[in-house]
């Protein structure tokens, strides 16, 4: 098993429904360690970079509008195989296909309104943590 750090973004639906603490408790209960956490508004530029893989799609403006409805909470989370384990805890990206007991199955609504973004690979996790956190905002514990 590899110790990894992943990025979680608590999306506007999680923030507006006061689910951040509930979901964070599930992550901590699974044994993961918070290395960085902050609330922030996402700029057009940051969203264009973060969602560059879909920035040319017709639905991209909807993503930007949704992700700017409220501040988001960015979380750098560490643990053994945390990337895969967090994605298992979350359930499928499409909340309508997520089983009850997963975070998205319990709290999500659809493909976009799905509580959290989570890094999907070790390479993306490194890039995403750097995108949302400065070196002085991620701490060893």
Quote helix, strand, coil % in the chain, to nearest 5: 45, 20, 35
| Cα-based distances in Å from 95 to 37, 51, 105 | 24, 19, 6
Task: Residue 47: name the closest of 135, 134, 138, 132 by CA.
Answer: 132
The reply to whether 117 belongs to the active site is: yes
What are the φ/ψ torsions at residue 95 (nearest 5 degrees)? -60, -25
**Six token digits for residue 97:** 């296909």
Catalytic residue among 35, 85, 104, 117: 117
HSE on the CB side for 22, CA within 13 Å?
15
Residues that are catalytic = 117
């Amino acid at each position: 098993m590899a110790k990894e750090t992943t990025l979680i973004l608590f999306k506007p639906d999680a923030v507006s429904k006061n689910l951040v603490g509930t979901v964070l408790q599930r992550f901590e209960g699974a044994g993961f360690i918070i290395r960085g956490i902050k609330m922030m508004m996402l700029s057009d530029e940051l969203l264009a970079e973060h969602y560059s893989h879909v920035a040319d799609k017709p639905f991209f403006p909807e993503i930007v509008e949704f992700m700017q409805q409220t501040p988001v909470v960015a979380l750098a989370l560490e643990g053994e195989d945390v990337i895969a384990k967090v994605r298992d805890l979350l359930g499928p990206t499409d909340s309508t296909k997520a089983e009850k007991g997963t975070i998205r199955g319990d709290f999500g609504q659809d493909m976009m309104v799905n509580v959290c973004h989570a890094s999907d690979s070790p390479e993306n996790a490194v890039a995403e943590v750097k995108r949302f956190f400065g070196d002085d905002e991620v701490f060893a514990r």
